[in-house]
A and B are shown apart, each in its own frame.
Chain A
């Protein structure tokens, strides 16, 4: 399905300002962006705001500039990334853990109650993830949660792919270390 959103015809429509096309993309990408933001920030409400705002801003970009978006996925993530960065700058800098509300909800999910062991491990990983600094967290989330390619990540961060590899590797090691503690 994602392949459709990468096709040049679709991108052409998006850049044209085709409402229908944009809403299609919106429906498809919003959950991903929301998810990503949520794991980065930890606060449900803010995540929703940011996710929404990502799409507003992207739309404004299409309206106002002549430049074309060549990769919608990357563009959305980049915008979301910037908004998250803004958020962090304004708020006091602290790592916000994933909040309790979701923990509660998840704990009552049937699939997790039956596999107690798995949920324990998942909790560990989640907690550890929360302890990483944002730089490392976002790399891991992008790569393994959002399943983005290194190329796309390097585009968002404006860094060479080698750098991304190295940093991702280090982030994973760090995560592993925290989990082991």
Chain B
């Protein structure tokens, strides 16, 4: 018979006759049941139902804004459109941000992703500009918006990093240069803003400026590395630096740069020009500062301060000269690096001047918080800075930043910090980003989660050094009750850490099983220990070009996620195993990369009674059929009927029927004389009434009850619903009315029961 026919036949199988009487009565009993168990819920309107549904679909952390956004999209999107032009001070701004986030998450093409990040970064700057025009800038808003801005820059950087795996060098470099150009523009815009915006916003603007420069340096580095890699097929990465050192590309490569970046000479020339202008600007500022009359601050201190400014200026000049030299040597990338350095120094100089003014305007110079010493074991020299702060000297002339507990610590690669009062120094060695090497065009397994490799040393005992690896959100104890946790990881060179004191006995680090990662809720329990749990990692799924193509290799990454591979599309992945067998794959692969699978016999079910024995027959799955040993027929008290019944029970097994107690007036103590008659287990004393007696298995919530007798006078057992915990009192009087009813109206007694309640 053809399958199509089989399907048709099944479809047309007769719907079993619905007895109308039964239907009516069951409806009635349903109605009664509902009346007895009313629902007490507050009226919900359609809106909250939708919210309820959405709450199931949406993860908890998503703000209500997203729900509103989705609802508005569903109702016509007017809200979203209106939100697009909103500014950080507007009510609809969160909607705009939410839309952007959604946009980001649905952009998959890497090149487009980078474009989007740049666009969004520029949007942020634009918003600040618009606010400035309106006169509505507050330092907090500026700060928040700039933070978002910086995030977009960082996103673009990491997207570029991802990009580099998929695309060829020229494409990557073009994208990188585009990004760098946009950074240049943004810097100009930011500079323009800086001149207009109030002093309080200055720190966040400076931070943003520095972020731009840092990003620019990173990008230039990447470009240089990429060119180097492509030209020399070297895989070793150079680390570029800003500051005094300049990485000089070998002359061979210097010539190649213009091939990759067409207008690099023009670009570098312009940047040098900008730097020159900046230098001139700073010069003016310093001269102004020198010429100002300061009544509040001592002249001597000012002199010392001026010297500092001059040193900065000299550094700037030197850098600019170097940049020009490099430009003449056609070492464009290094020249750009130097111009960046000039800008950084400019920002610092500005800051110094600002700081001076702030300090000076403070009448009580003594109360200014002095900078803490920057190294462990520092001691005062007896001299004082221009701001009246004591000068410290470090024991081994190192300047290490000092940090404290419960404070976010940012660390760059190679940087060391010291922990106040704990004699601990923490150095960031490197960030391990394990990406498997992937040939171009292949779809590959994803990268492992990056970890930070840190070195902990215990001052003054420098011999003891501990090396630890921290993954994101992982915490390790580095000293008795001092825990170091990795909060954030910038794949290139920067981590954020935090130190906590943990009370003794806290499991700060859970050993999470494979496939899970430790996440701390940020809350603490009664004994002060952080509450952390192992949460399953969302493991990335591998998308192959055709459905069903990905398979588990059986190996796992460090984070417990299974490693997938794509099957060649020519594999016969689905065997049609005959009945009695099932497809099992050995985990091995044959020459063409296809998994080796076989049809293995299904594990057969074990018998479910004591003393079962095999018959010589087999069932559909080729499993042997077992038969249970003989039972005996004896009188057993049943809690269902509260009487003795003749039943077939297996030797040694009790009767698990109803879970209720029998009340005294129900119990029928008549003990039948049980035996087999005609193969049926029954009461031999009542041979004139050949009634088969069998225990009825009622479902949970139903209890067996006698529903009259059939034409032979034998009892008919049915299951009645049990409502609630109360004992059902079987209405014995219902027996007398049964005989008049037809066999099929089995729910009549329920009805009666419910009515009688």
Please report the C-alpha to C-alpha distance between residue A31 and residue B719 in the assembled complex, in whole angstroms: 19
Beta-carbon contact of B39 and A16 below 8 Å: yes
Query: Roughly how many angstroms separate A15 CA and B49 CA in the complex, as a whole number?
Result: 9
Most chain A beta-carbon contacts within 10 A, residue among B34, B50, B628:
B34
Contact A91 B3 (CB under 8 A): no
- Complex formed: what's the CA distance from A31 to B56 in Å? 31
Q: Find chain A residues with CB under 8 A from B702 CB.
A: 49, 53
| Interface of chain A, main secondary structure | helix
Name the segment of B15-23, B113-121, B376-384, B470-478 touching the other chain. B15-23
Given contacts A83-B699, A170-B576, A180-B1, contact A93 B608 (CB under 8 A): yes
By a CB distance below 8 angstroms, the chain B residues around A122 are: 9, 12-13
Is the Cβ of B718 less than 8 Å from the Cβ of A16?
no
Residue A179, interface by CB 8 Å:
yes
Beyond the given pairs A16-B39, A53-B701, A57-B701, 5 more chain A to chain B contacts, judged by CB atoms under 8 angstroms and listed by A's residue number, are: A53-B699, A63-B38, A124-B1, A129-B10, A172-B3
Judge whether A162 is part of the interface by a CB distance below 8 angstroms: yes
B579 touches A177 (CB 8 A): yes
Nearest 3 interchain pairs by C-beta: A17-B39, A144-B10, A125-B9
Which residues of B line the A interface, CB within 8 A? 1, 3, 5-7, 9-18, 22-23, 26-27, 29-31, 33-35, 37-41, 43-44, 46, 49-50, 52-53, 56, 547-548, 574, 576-577, 579, 605, 608-609, 620-621, 628, 697-702, 718-719, 721, 746-747
Q: Please, how many angstroms separate the alpha-carbon atoms of A125 and B13 in the complex?
A: 9
Say yes or no: B15 contacts A31, CB within 8 Å.
yes
Interface size on A, residues (CB 8 A): 72
Q: Are B608 and A23 in contact, CB atoms less than 8 angstroms apart?
A: no
Q: How far is the CB of A145 from chain B (nearest CB, A)?
A: 6
Give Cα A86 to B699, complex, Å: 7
- Return 19 A-B CB contacts under 8 Å, by A number: A8-B50, A17-B41, A23-B31, A35-B16, A56-B701, A68-B49, A70-B56, A83-B699, A92-B608, A93-B608, A102-B16, A121-B1, A122-B13, A125-B10, A133-B620, A147-B11, A162-B547, A170-B576, A170-B577
Asked if B699 and A87 sit within 8 Å, CB to CB, the answer is yes
Which of A60, A124, A145, A173 contacts B37, CB < 8 Å?
Answer: A60
Q: Which residues of A contact B35 (CB under 8 A)?
A: 19
Residues of A near B41 (CB, < 8 A) are 15-17
A55 to B7, CA, bound (A): 29
| A68 in contact with B53 given A35-B15, A49-B719 (CB within 8 Å) | yes
**A112, closest chain B residue (CB):** B14
User: Is B6 within 8 A of A56, CB to CB?
Assistant: no
Query: Nearest chain-B residue to A54 (Cβ)?
Result: B699
1/0 contact string of A40-77 vs chain B (CB within 8 Å): 00001101111011011101101100001010000000
CB–CB B10/A56 < 8 A: no
Q: Are B620 and A50 in contact (CB under 8 A)?
A: no
Contacting pair B13 A145 (CB below 8 A): yes
Hey, which chain B residues are within 8 Å of A31, CB to CB?
Answer: 15, 18
Contact A59 B608 (CB under 8 A): no
User: A155 within 8 Å of B by Cβ?
Assistant: no
- Which A residues are in CB contact (< 8 Å) with B547? 162
Q: How far is the CA of A72 from the CA of B457 in the complex (A)?
A: 63
A166 within 8 A of B: yes
Interface of B, secondary structure class, is: loop
- For the complex, what is the distance from the CA of A93 to the CA of B1, rounded to whole Å? 29
User: Once bound together, how far apart are the Cα atoms of A155 and B621, in whole Å?
Assistant: 27
Contact A45 B718 (CB under 8 A): yes
Docked-complex contact A16 and B43, CB < 8 angstroms: yes
Report the minimum CB–CB distance from B698 to chain A (whole Å).
7
B7 touches which of A15, A126, A144 (Cβ 8 Å): A144
Given contacts A26-B30, A68-B49, contact A62 B39 (CB under 8 A): yes
Write out the residue numbers on chain A whose beta carbons fall within 8 Å of the beta carbon of B574. Answer: 166
Residues on B with C-beta less than 8 A from A8 are: 46, 49-50
Q: How far apart are B90's CB and chain A's nearest CB, in angstroms?
A: 33
Judge whether A148 is part of the interface by a CB distance below 8 angstroms.
no
* B747 proximity list for chain A (CB < 8 A): 52
Kindly list chain A residues whose C-beta atoms are within 8 Å of the C-beta of B628: 92
A15 neighbours in B (Cβ, 8 Å): 41, 44, 49
> How close is A141's CB to chain B, nearest CB, in angstroms?
8
CA gap between A34 and B19 in the complex, in Å: 11
Q: Which residues in B have their C-beta under 8 angstroms from that of A145?
A: 10-11, 13
Please report the C-alpha to C-alpha distance between residue A162 and residue B697 in the assembled complex, in whole angstroms.
36
A174 touching B579, Cβ below 8 Å: yes
B1, B26, B699: the one within 8 Å of A30 (CB):
B26
The answer, yes or no, to whether A109 is at the interface (CB within 8 Å) is: yes
Q: Name the distance in Å between A9's Cβ and chain B's nearest Cβ.
A: 7
Cβ-closest chain A residue relative to B48: A12
Partner of B17 from A105, A172, A180 at Cβ < 8 Å? A105
Given contacts A23-B31, A31-B15, contact A90 B39 (CB under 8 A): no
Q: Is the CB of A90 within 8 A of B33?
A: no
Residues of chain A within 8 A (CB-CB) of B6 are: 125, 172, 175-176, 179
From A52, A91, A106, B697 is in contact (CB under 8 Å) with A91
| A60 (CB) vs chain B CBs: closest residue | B37
- The CA of A98 and the CA of B609, in the complex, are separated in Å by 25
Measured between beta carbons, the chain A residues less than 8 angstroms from B17 are 105
Q: Is there contact, CB below 8 Å, between A131 and B620?
A: yes
Which of B1, B12, B699 sits near A176, CB closer than 8 Å? B1
CB < 8 Å neighbour of A22 from B10, B34, B46: B34
Chain B residue with minimal CB distance to A102? Answer: B16
* Structural contact, A52 and B37, CB atoms closer than 8 A: no
Q: Which residues of A contact B548 (CB under 8 A)?
A: 162
Contacts of A177 in B (CB 8 A): 579
Query: Which residues in chain A, 11-28, are within 8 Å of chain B measured between CB atoms?
Result: 11-12, 15-17, 19, 22-23, 26-27
Which residues of chain A are near B40, meaning CB under 8 Å?
17
Cα–Cα, bound, A91→B41 (Å):
38
The answer for the CA separation of A27 and B5 in the assembled complex, in Å, is 31
The verdict on A153 contacting chain B, using a C-beta distance below 8 Å, is no
- Chain A's nearest CB lies how many Å from the CB of B329? 62
**Whole-angstrom distance between the Cβ of A172 and the nearest chain B Cβ:** 6
Partner of A53, one of B22, B38, B577, B721: B721
Report which of A23, A45, A91, A166 forms a contact with B30, defined as CB distance below 8 A. Answer: A23
Report chain A residues within 8 Å CB of B33: 56, 59
How far is the CB of A53 from the nearest CB of chain B, in Å? 6
Chain B nearest Cβ from A49, distance in angstroms = 5
A133 touches B621 (CB 8 A): yes
A132 to B579 CA separation, bound complex (whole angstroms): 10
- Max chain A CB contacts within 10 Å: which of B31, B39, B577? B39
A8-B46, A12-B49, A147-B11 known; A48+B22 contact, CB < 8 A: yes
A92 → B minimal CB distance (Å)? 7
Binary contact readout A96-133 vs B (1 if CB under 8 angstroms, 0 otherwise): 00000010011001000000000001101110010111
Q: List chain A residues, Cβ under 8 A from B609.
A: 92
| Complex contacts, B22 vs chain A, CB 8 Å | 48
Q: A26-B30, A52-B26, A106-B14 are in contact. Are A68 and B52 (CB under 8 A)?
A: yes
